[in-house]
A = this chain, B = another copy of it.
Amino acid sequence: MVAAEVMSCGGGAVRVRYRVQDNPLSEKGWHGMVKTKQIQVQTKGNCHVIDITDQVADEVTGSGVQAGVATLFNVGSTAGLTTTEYEPGLANYDLKAAFERIAPEAGHYEHEQTWHDDNGHAHVRASLLGPSLSVPFTDGRLTPGTWQQIILVDFDTRPRTRTVICQIIGE
């Protein structure tokens, strides 16, 4: 069922339009499912930005679930997930520069006193970016924009094999 309605809402300039996209299965009863998989990604570390959109899309397609949410969760505390336009400028330079401002690689970290290692900045950056991302899908397709890819950013100081949980809940 697809319907459309237009409404104005308070707050001045904000105009909001809704487009109804209920999944028809909802009207015939629930056929919900939970499917949990792991996506493993080889990284180079050091703020390596990796586009995992295709892997997540494959999981959605393979699940047979038509409408729902893909909950993505990076296992480990020195990498995180977000979206970006995946092109070389942002992926190789601009994101790294911002994280260098927030948590400089050469800064002092008490974490490194605890474990005598060198990745305090990686931990801080990962906590700020966050480990989880929730991506809705309908008609078996993810909803992000054409110029918006799902990325893992690995902040650690060495190559790692990363595990991203990809859990699909829907009907």
| Chain A residues in the interface with B (C-beta under 8 A) | 9-11, 13-23, 25-26, 30-42, 44, 50-52, 54-55, 59, 67-69, 71, 73, 75-77, 82-85, 87-90, 92-95, 97-98, 101-103, 107, 109-115, 120, 123-124, 126-136, 138, 143-145, 147-148, 151, 165, 167, 169-171
Majority DSSP secondary structure for residues of A touching B: mixed
Known: A31-B30, A124-B95. A144 touches B73 (CB 8 A): yes
Give A44's nearest chain B residue, CB to CB. B13
State the number of copies, please.
Answer: 3
User: Does A83 contact B77, Cβ atoms closer than 8 Å?
Assistant: yes
Known: A16-B41, A143-B73. A127 touches B170 (CB 8 A): no
